[in-house]
Amino acid sequence: MTSQPASAARVAHIKRETSESSVDLRIDLDGSGASDIETGVPFFDHMLTAFAKHSLTDLRVRSVGDIHIDVHHTVEDTGIVLGAAIRQALGDKSGIARFGDATVPLDESLARAVVDISGRPFLVHEGEPEGFPFHLIGGHFTGSMVRHFFEAVTFAAGLTVHVDLLRGRDPHHIAEAEFKAFARAFRVAKSFDASVDGIPSTKGAL
C-alpha cells in the first residue's frame, strides 16, 4: 500500500494493489459530500455515494477486482483503503468532536450507528433479520457484505463502531439505512468542536 501524506485540509490519497483487486481512493473529510465512485459493483457504488453525501465527505474511488468470481474482494479491499484514508486524513485528531451518533430511517427500516474515533478498532453490528446475509441485493451484492465492509473500515480506520438495525424488512432499505446512519454518525464525530482544546482524550492521544 502506498500513500501520500495528509494535509492540514484533512485529505488523503491511497492506492492499494493485490492479485485480487486494485483500489485508488481520494478523500477529503472537509468536503461537501461530492462523490465519483466506480467499483464495478453497482449497489456498492450506491452505498458509497450515500456515505459520501451524508457524511459530507468528498470521495473518489476507482476499484477494479475479480468480481467475475465474487464481489467480496472488491468490497473488502475498498473498505480497507477507505479506512486507511480516513485514519490518515484525520491526522492527530486535535479539536474533533470524537463521538457521533445517528438514527436514520428508510421507509420501514430504522438503523442506529454510534462512532468513536478512538484509535481502538472494534465493531458491534446487530439486529439484521435472519437470512439477510444471504440475500442478493440487486442480484449481485450479498447482505453479508454490509457487515464485512463495516469491519474493514472500522479496523483500518481505528474506529469503535456500533451499528444496530432497530427494525427492517426490505434488504435494500436495511443496507441503505445502516450506511446512512454510519455516515451521519461519522459526520458528527469527525467534525471540529470549538469547545475541544487539543486531543479529546484523557490519555492525550487517540
Residue 205 located in a structural domain:
no
Cα separation, 100 vs 115, whole angstroms: 5
Residue 92 located in a structural domain:
yes
92-102: pLDDT as tens digits? 999 999 999 99
- Residue among 74, 79, 85 nearest 19 (CA): 74
pLDDT at 161 over 80: yes
CB atoms within 10 A of CB 1: 12
Residue 118 located in a structural domain:
yes
Residue 76 located in a structural domain:
yes
pLDDT at 6 over 70: no
Q: Write down the pLDDT at residue 195.
A: 93
Residue 98 located in a structural domain:
yes
Question: Cβ(4)–Cβ(25) under 8 Å?
Answer: no
Cα separation, 77 vs 202, whole angstroms: 33
Residue 197 located in a structural domain:
no
The grid cell for 197 is 482544546
Residue 24 located in a structural domain:
yes
- Domain span at residue 173 reads 2-190
Question: Cβ(22)–Cβ(39) under 8 Å?
Answer: no
pTM: 0.95
Q: Which residue has the higher pLDDT, 203 or 37?
A: 37
171-202: pLDDT as tens digits? 999 999 999 999 999 999 999 999 999 999 99
Task: Please report, for the domain that includes residue 179, its CATH number.
Answer: 3.30.230.40
The amino acid at 176: E
Residue 206 located in a structural domain:
no
Structural domain total, the chain: 1
DSSP state of 133: G
Q: Write down the pLDDT at residue 1.
A: 58
